[in-house]
Amino acid sequence: MATKKLVVVSAGLGQPSSTRLLADRLTTATREHLSLLGDEVSVEVIELRDLAHDITNNLLTGFAPPKLQVALDALSSADGMIAVTPIFTTSYSGLFKSFIDVIEPTAVTDLAVVIGATGGTERHSLALDYAMRPLFAYLHAVVVPTAVYAASSDWGTGAGAGSTALPDRVSRAAGELAALMHDSVRSSRVVDPFALPSGFSPTGSYGEE
């Protein structure tokens, strides 16, 4: 039985936070789906609120303080990621983007990701597809087709004509993530931090006589 590494990034600012609640629902559902596939899962939750000062300091000094470094290392070697942010002023929150700005450019390459967001009304749900999805596409992450948006009203709404209830969307997204994580070898990869670019020569193409 393989153990897959799941990293959950929650950018909610409140305590308790509906963003964290959505992240937890997605985590539970992903764990269930992986269990059906015969995988165990270890979960690391990164609450960005707890790292907010470290993230700002990293932006200013260029290096991650120890607690943030632990989170960054977890992400680099994850098999799957659940990324949930509140929607602020049409897009992901500034804190969420600042976190993305301090990860290595290749840290989430090939990483399977479920994107999720919370907001006061359903009107902002497309922010997932015009803001979150392109952000992860740029970073070469593999974003699953189903993104999960939870407006305040979704927490008290069942399935109706032409719409699914939140638990159904959570389950579908988690199933898509679990399928990709099942095949992932990211957590067992060994990355050489000093790998030189292919074809690199210490004298260059023109250095030799």
Residues within the interface to another protein (CB under 8 A): 56-57, 60-63, 65-66, 193-197, 200-209
Q: Which is nearer to another protein, 37 or 65 (CB)?
A: 65
Q: Which two tokens stand for residue 132?
A: 């979150």
What the block records as the tokens of 207 is 């250095």
Distance in Å, CB of 65 to another protein, minimum: 6
CB-based contact 159:165 (threshold 8 Å) = yes
Give least dist CB 185 to another protein, A: 24
Residue placing its CB nearer to another protein in the complex, 89 or 205: 205
Cα separation, 44 vs 51, whole angstroms: 14
SS (H, E, C) 49-99: HHHHHHHHHHHHHCCCCHHHHHHHHHHHCCCEEEEEEEEECCEECHHHHHH
Q: How far is the CB of 53 from another protein (least distance, A)?
A: 8
Least separation in angstroms between residue 161's CB and another protein is 54
Nearer to another protein, 38 or 204 (CB): 204
Task: Locate 24 and state its tokens.
Answer: 């937890």
Q: Of 161 and 208, which CB lies nearer to another protein in the complex structure?
A: 208
